[in-house]
Structure 1
């Protein structure tokens, strides 16, 4: 590889990445769903080295504005993996994915950085889908959030001898997601630490059956979603760390709604089988708890992350 070819100063790309909800109940570390909440950013190369960052929206007061920013670190990781030197950049980010709420904000940042690198390297290095998923998984640690953020829709992700793999599926048009977002956060690492390292054979078989059923429910038979979202591997163990989340999930499920913890929490995802059902779920969430929940009425994102050339005067797509 020729490592000396620079990216021209003034080159710009625009990136858009969806939120995700992982696990979906029984599909622990395997299933993920892309949702219609987006982080958007533009990256413009500078004449010299350095990083300039402006952030608006979610996390604007908390995220770093130097090279430790996760988008920048992910870009640098991609450039290094391609044997290229990363140029100085100006990053302008507009975030709408809630941080620390189980909606894949860190996975979205990783994917955004990789897609920005893909766009800037277009014409020199081709970062294909398999490479993007591999790099994203190396950065994030597991593929269940980054796969739907990259590819959209419902994704099944797994690891084999060749690295991370995925299969994208289209979700039945009758599935209507709603996410209830609280005003408190949950650390993903803490939540993951609460799940046991070993489970009983009965619980393992239970989750295998529900995961298989969930694929059928999401793609063909939404009326099966309540049974298909039952879980015995992780949600009950994490309940102690987020009692309001556990209480809302239990209340909604008792009323017949397919409610699960979104990712590591504390948000709650309801996979309703129509717009009317999710409005009813929102009424229950508003009245059944002292915790305020913001209801996000969402669609399933089918495109995943996108990148396009944003250089002044250009209409091309990397």
Structure 2
């Protein structure tokens, strides 16, 4: 019997304004997996019984080996926690990815969420999104991106009960939860099953008038590099500055009509954006010179995730706002593309086709 289904996972923007490692938005730019399980198809060439194909962003750099690809390795982690060692024979997965890699739009978070959903669907395990978040957060300890990709919309999230060691480590290497095959032979070890409710989240409202302009520079910034420029300690007044604004922003973005005089100052940040200007030339000037007074319809502007993408929230004048930000980047010799996006309110989706 042939079975087929699709998985769609939205891109995400994290660190919204003052919400460093807290606030995220799922965006309607979807990583898609087209999955077919046909026992008549010969998949013996792959040790995990899966034929993987890929198109879109990162096609020249993403591994098609099932024990190296982030999506399939995450799926194997979920499956092996339930004593399912490999994919079923005849598994074919075609990945369509429109999310730029390393640009601050949650490409790795989307891959991890897609992998968790894939393992759940392949194994017919029946896990809820909340339980699958636990598996995802064992691999990538950024709940803002992961939660936005899984449940969608505008979300706030946090991790609970982490040890001091885990609090300092933002990622757990995937090899620690899914051991690498040794010499091409699977070790047969069972990975650690995640505790329940590692992360908690809340979904905020979102004013229907607000759209998201993503200006995407043509270079990558790794999360490790962008975290490396951050200080190890902060001044108390900078922490208070962000806390005050995040308390206002999470309600201000729900109100209709949106109030730029409230939202724009509430999207200021002193925790990460000032330190990342060395990695993204023109960042400081863009964040300070694009205002509701200079550009009609603009509500607020911030770095998306670790960057280099800029996220501008606006109600109108989208083309002009994007073109002017792109022109400012051009003064630094940086080329950009842009997308007009809206919150993906439903989050990730799985659709059985047959």
TM-score after normalising by structure 2: 0.80
Task: Determine the C-alpha separation between the residues in 1 that align with 2:329 and 2:158.
Answer: 37
Q: Is 2:283 the counterpart of 1:225? A: no
Tell me if 1:180 matches 2:215.
yes
RMSD: 1.8
Secondary structure of the equivalent of 1:172? coil
Q: 1:266 pairs with 291, 302, 308, which one? A: 308
- Structure 1 residue 31: deviation in Å? 0.5
Return the offset for 1:197: 1.9
Question: Quick one: distance in 1 between partners of 2:78 and 2:97?
Answer: 22
Measured in 2, the distance between the counterparts of 1:299 and 1:209 equals: 26
In 1, Cα distance between equivalents of 2:278 and 2:323 = 25
Residue 46 of structure 1 and its aligned partner are, at CA, apart by 5.5
Counterparts of 1:65 and 1:84, CA distance in 2: 21
Cα deviation for residue 36 of structure 1 reads 1.2
Q: Tell whether the 8 Å contact from 1:12 to 1:120 is kept in structure 2 after alignment.
A: no
My pick for the range that moved more, 250-259 or 127-136, is 250-259
Could you list the per-position Cα deviations for residues 71-109 of structure 1 after superposition, in whole angstroms to 9, with x for gaps in the alignment?
Answer: 001101111222323324321011101111000000000
Whole-Å separation in 2 of the counterparts to 1:297 and 1:75: 31
More displaced 10-residue stretch of structure 1: 250-259 or 75-84: 250-259
**Which residue is equivalent to 2:123?**
121
1:224-263 alignment runs, 5 A limit: 224-253=262-291, 255=294, 257=298, 258-263=300-305
Kindly indicate whether the alpha-carbon contact (under 8 Å) linking 1:45 and 1:87 is maintained by their aligned counterparts in 2: no
The alignment partner of 1:260 has SS state of strand
Q: Which has more helix, going by share of residues?
A: 1
The alignment of Structure 1 onto Structure 2 pairs a total of residues equal to 299
The reply to whether residue 282 of structure 1 matches residue 322 of structure 2 is: yes
Given that residues 177 and 271 in structure 1 are in contact (C-alpha distance below 8 angstroms), is that contact kept between their aligned partners in structure 2?
yes
Distance 2:118 2:316 in 1: 35
Task: State the distance in 1 between where 2:110 and 2:339 align.
Answer: 18
Whole-angstrom distance in 2 between the partners of 1:155 and 1:289: 29
SS in 2 for 1:13: strand
Q: Secondary structure at the match of 1:240?
A: coil
Q: Deviations over 1:133-177 (max 9, x none)?
A: 111111112211010101110011112235211111221112111
Q: CA deviation at 1:186?
A: 0.6
Q: Which runs of 5+ in 1 are unaligned?
A: 1-8
Instruction: Tell me how far apart the structure 2 counterparts of residues 298 and 98 of structure 1 sit (CA, whole Å).
Output: 14
Partner Cα separation in structure 2 for residue 21 and residue 233 of structure 1:
17
Task: Give structure 1 regions of 4+ aligned residues with deviation exceeding 3 angstroms.
Answer: 45-49, 244-247, 253-257
Deviations 1:202-255 (A, max 9, x none): 001100011111101211263222111100001111111111344333332483
Does the Cα contact within 8 Å between 2:49 and 2:86 map onto a contact in 1?
no
Task: Identify the residue that residue 71 of structure 1 maps to in structure 2.
Answer: 71
Matched-pair contact (CA < 8 Å) for 2:215–2:326: no
